[in-house]
């Protein structure tokens, strides 16, 4: 057990460790979108199917000796892929669909090592059973424990301690260690007595029953028995990704929050396959119904963020316990183990396919969560209540009746939630970067306004009345740092003093929103916007008038700002506004030392960098202090309060100036606020970052 256990554990650990390692390396290339993670999840689920399929079909066609040789050969070939550092030639270009390119990048970079590792658990469990005639399913629980630890150790141990390059090297050495452990198991397996000799000895002793049972279990499994092995893991996988999207994009894009749903998913596997007595239908069924009610309350009435996360997490865990508990309850004899695991992986991949590929094509919001809840409840009802009952009468049907009444109530409440969320929508869009919705609020003639939401987070607002539509709102109000960066710039001061003889300003803006910043432009000024999501530009031009009413000449570059700026000649900008952190997510690649120097290269001698860092969960001030200190530039902080009369939000801006004299302006001096005291400043690079250090 130890030999097989340590190898299975290490293989599963590496399977889940490589996922955040490779995702971290390529995340900057795709704009830091949370969809990068869900797309990677889909790829890894499909490769898991490939690994399990390889195990099932090759083990049936080859002898044990030849199978060991083939697998060792694949291990040797997989070493060519090391270290697992993606080539920069796979960086997406502007206007290109990111999903297909991301999948191709992963296929070229990590496919074979991942396939070999994903095959580890079913291969070794099958060998263990053949060699020792013991049930291998506890090794499956151990495999999921390794997966869980591989997932959890990355953000809290690996990422804070190692650069991206050394993470790859660490993983590569661990892969080599896995190959050694696999050789240990393979050599021991080949030394076992041949199966035919065992059968002959059993027959000589008169143990015909043992042979008959072995022959019975080797009979082909009817396809109708495949259905639960596919549909139950599909439901769990669908809910996993749908709830991950809901939590990490709509509730709060908190670093590491995507780990929580996946950890609960893995823990349910560990519990259900380690001990049968740990799965109690009545307990988990009751918790499932109760948690659904809590989720519905959270969606319709609303709850604080922590309570919403707790509600969704409890629901996911109870649903996974029911799905995986029923899956473990109907597990086949170990002789059919490879087929069993293959079909489980197919189910998981189907759930991921529904969320990552099919749902974005069919829905303009995350409605797969609603359908997933209803579908899972119906599927579980079939498995929980389809068995024959010894008890007769109406009492025997009460649990079934109650369950389906609950399903009916779910449908009604979810439809109400759908209607409520779409009632005031002018337009709703969904793509790789998330969901965009434009809502209109009518609270009297003077306060009528349109709001752009990315998920549930405001990304811009404009009053519609003619006398207020050009008023800057949200984080761009007249007391915001953006106002001071532009209006107190020396060029603007000269222009106000001499409106005839002046030099127009060149302003760059990373992050378009609804185009509010454009209202600060004057005739002959040039403002260039960098926006990764093409739908944002479409919405800003269609439903808001900031861009249309701007007096400046406007230019637009669609794509990741970092990539675009790297490929452009110095822009000689007077002001560069970096507003990529206000949505509570943080594209790390836009706030590293290399990115900071890139911004400075595009500024002129009097240029000002304006960072919008309003954030509920991250304190980016010590990071910007460290970057500014390293670059030897002047820095100031402007924090403005909420002003509901003018539609201004509480906003935090950090200004960095090439010329320290910018902070001698009297108006700027009045607006400046002192920085909090920090023990250490922080500097991130493209190769190293640690989000733990900037969490509030």
Segment 629-644 shows an average pLDDT of 94
Segment 528-533 shows an average pLDDT of 92
CATH architecture label of 222-386+394-423: Up-down Bundle (1.20)
Write out the two tokens for 439: 């809502």
Closest by Cα among 577, 599, 471 to 529:
577
CA-CA distance, 6 to 493, in Å (whole number)?
A: 70
131: pLDDT strictly greater than 80: no
Give the strand pairing for 506-510 and 573-578: parallel
What pTM value is reported for the model?
0.80
Under 8 Å between Cβ of 426 and 453: no
**Distance from first CA to last CA of the chain, Å, rounded?**
44
Confidence of residue 394 (pLDDT cuts 50, 70, 90): very low
CA-CA distance, 315 to 242, in Å (whole number)?
A: 12
The per-residue pLDDT for 69 is: 85
The per-residue pLDDT for 443 is: 63
564: pLDDT strictly greater than 50: yes
The per-residue pLDDT for 604 is: 95
> Percentage of the chain surpassing pLDDT 90?
33
- Host H or E run for residue 37: helix 35-61
390: pLDDT strictly greater than 70: no
Average pLDDT in the chain: 84
- Host H or E run for residue 531: strand 526-531
515: pLDDT strictly greater than 60: yes
CA-CA distance, 521 to 552, in Å (whole number)?
A: 5
CA-CA distance, 315 to 604, in Å (whole number)?
A: 54
Write out the two tokens for 572: 């000689």
Give the strand pairing for 672-673 and 651-657: unpaired
Q: Packing angle between helix 305-329 and helix 368-385, nearest 10 degrees?
A: 40
Look at domain 474-694 and name its CATH class.
alpha beta
Domains 1-192 and 222-386+394-423 share a fold: yes
Q: Which residue has the higher pLDDT, 391 or 237?
A: 237
Mean pLDDT check: name the lowest of 397-406, 605-614, 651-660.
397-406
> Percentage of the chain surpassing pLDDT 70?
89
pLDDT in tens, 322-357: 999 999 998 888 888 888 889 999 999 999 889 888
Under 8 Å between Cβ of 325 and 272: yes
598: pLDDT strictly greater than 90: yes
567: pLDDT strictly greater than 70: yes
Segment 158-179 shows an average pLDDT of 88
The per-residue pLDDT for 668 is: 94
pLDDT in tens, 75-114: 888 888 888 888 777 777 655 667 788 888 888 888 889 9
Confidence of residue 499 (pLDDT cuts 50, 70, 90): confident
Q: Which residue has the higher pLDDT, 696 or 665?
A: 665
Fold of 1-192: Growth Hormone; Chain: A; (1.20.1250)
Mean pLDDT check: name the lowest of 5-9, 86-90, 376-380.
86-90
For the chain, domain boundaries: 1-192, 222-386+394-423, 474-694
pLDDT in tens, 434-448: 789 999 887 655 568
CA-CA distance, 120 to 7, in Å (whole number)?
A: 8
Give the strand pairing for 434-441 and 449-454: antiparallel
Segment 467-488 shows an average pLDDT of 93
Segment 548-572 shows an average pLDDT of 92
pLDDT in tens, 25-75: 887 777 666 667 777 878 888 888 998 898 888 878 888 788 888 888 888
686: pLDDT strictly greater than 50: yes
Write out the two tokens for 246: 């809901």
CA-CA distance, 26 to 28, in Å (whole number)?
A: 6
The per-residue pLDDT for 21 is: 86
Segment 484-496 shows an average pLDDT of 91
594: pLDDT strictly greater than 70: yes
138: pLDDT strictly greater than 70: yes
The per-residue pLDDT for 211 is: 41
Under 8 Å between Cβ of 444 and 537: no
Confidence of residue 393 (pLDDT cuts 50, 70, 90): very low
Closest by Cα among 245, 316, 239 to 36:
245
Residues recorded for the chain: 696
Segment 229-257 shows an average pLDDT of 81
CA-CA distance, 120 to 116, in Å (whole number)?
A: 7
Half-sphere exposure of 188 (CA within 13 A, CB side): 18
Closest by Cα among 276, 263, 256, 264 to 325:
276
Token look-up 């799965």 returns 279
Segment 192-209 shows an average pLDDT of 50
């Amino acid at each position: 057990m130890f030999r097989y256990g340590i190898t299975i554990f290490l293989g599963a650990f590496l399977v889940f460790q490589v996922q955040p390692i490779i995702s971290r390396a390529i995340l900057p290339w795709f704009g830091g979108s949370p969809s990068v993670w869900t797309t990677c999840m889909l790829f890894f689920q499909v490769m898991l199917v490939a690994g399990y399929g390889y195990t099932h079909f090759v083990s049936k066609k080859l002898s044990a000796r030849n199978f060991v040789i083939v697998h060792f050969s694949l291990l040797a070939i997989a070493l060519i892929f090391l270290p697992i550092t993606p080539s920069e030639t796979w960086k997406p270009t502007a206007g290109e669909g990111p999903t297909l390119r991301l999948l191709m990048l992963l296929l070229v970079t990590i496919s074979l090592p991942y396939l070999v590792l994903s095959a580890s658990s079913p291969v070794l469990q099958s060998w263990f059973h053949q060699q020792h005639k013991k049930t291998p399913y506890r090794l499956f629980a151990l495999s999921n424990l390794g997966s869980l630890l591989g997932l959890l150790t990355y953000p809290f141990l690996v990422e804070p301690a190692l650069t991206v390059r050394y993470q790859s090297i660490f993983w590569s050495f661990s892969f080599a260690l896995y190959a050694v452990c696999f050789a240990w198991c393979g050599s021991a397996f080949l030394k076992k007595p041949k199966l035919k000799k065992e059968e002959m000895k059993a027959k000589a002793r008169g143990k015909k029953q043992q042979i008959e049972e072995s022959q019975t279990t080797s009979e082909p499994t009817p396809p109708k028995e495949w259905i639960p092995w596919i549909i139950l893991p599909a439901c769990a996988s669908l809910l996993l990704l749908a709830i991950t999207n809901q939590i990490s994009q709509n509730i709060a894009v908190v670093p590491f929050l995507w780990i929580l749903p996946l950890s609960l998913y893995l823990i349910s596997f560990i519990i259900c396959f380690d001990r049968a007595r740990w799965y109690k239908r009545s307990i988990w069924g009751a918790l499932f119904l109760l948690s659904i009610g809590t989720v519905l309350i959270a969606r319709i009435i609303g709850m604080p963020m922590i309570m919403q996360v707790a509600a969704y997490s409890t629901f996911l865990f109870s649903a996974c316990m029911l799905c995986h508990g029923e899956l473990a309850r109907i597990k086949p004899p170990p002789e059919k183990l490879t087929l069993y695991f293959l079909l489980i992986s197919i189910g998981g991949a189907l759930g991921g396919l529904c969320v990552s590929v099919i749902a974005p094509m069919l829905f303009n919001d995350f409605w797969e969560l609603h359908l997933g809840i209803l579908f899972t409840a119906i599927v579980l009802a079939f498995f929980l209540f389809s068995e024959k009952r010894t008890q007769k009468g109406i009492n025997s049907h009460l649990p079934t009746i109650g369950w389906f009444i609950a399903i009916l109530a779910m449908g009604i409440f979810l439809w109400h939630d759908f209607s409520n969320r779409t009632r005031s929508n002018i337009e709703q869009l969904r793509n790789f970067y998330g969901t965009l919705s434009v809502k209109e609020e009518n609270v009297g003639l003077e306060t009528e306004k349109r709001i752009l939401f990315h998920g549930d987070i405001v990304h811009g607002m404009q009053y519609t009345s003619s006398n207020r539509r050009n008023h800057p709102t949200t984080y761009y109000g007249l007391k915001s740092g953006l106002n001071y960066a532009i209006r107190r710039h020396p060029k603007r001061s000269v222009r106000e003093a001499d409106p005839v003889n002046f030099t127009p300003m060149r302003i760059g803006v990373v992050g378009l929103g609804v185009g509010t910043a454009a209202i600060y432009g004057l005739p002959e000024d040039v403002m260039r916007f960098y926006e990764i999501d093409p739908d944002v530009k479409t919405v800003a031009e269609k439903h808001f008038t900031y861009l249309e009413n701007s007096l400046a000449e406007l230019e637009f570059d669609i794509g990741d700002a970092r990539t675009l700026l790297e490929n452009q000649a110095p822009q000689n900008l007077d002001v560069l506004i970096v507003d990529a952190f206000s949505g509570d997510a943080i594209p790390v690649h836009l706030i590293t030392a290399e990115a900071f120097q890139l911004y400075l290269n595009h500024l002129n001698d009097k240029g000002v960098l304006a960072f919008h860092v309003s954030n509920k969960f991250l304190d980016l001030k010590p990071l910007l202090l460290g970057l500014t200190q390293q670059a030897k530039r002047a820095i100031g902080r402007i924090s403005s309060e909420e002003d509901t009369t003018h539609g201004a939000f509480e906003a935090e801006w950090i200004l960095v100036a090439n010329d320290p004299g910018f902070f001698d302006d009297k108006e700027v001096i009045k607006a400046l606020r002192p920085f909090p005291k920090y023990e250490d400043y922080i500097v991130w690079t493209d190769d190293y970052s640690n989000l733990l250090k900037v969490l509030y």
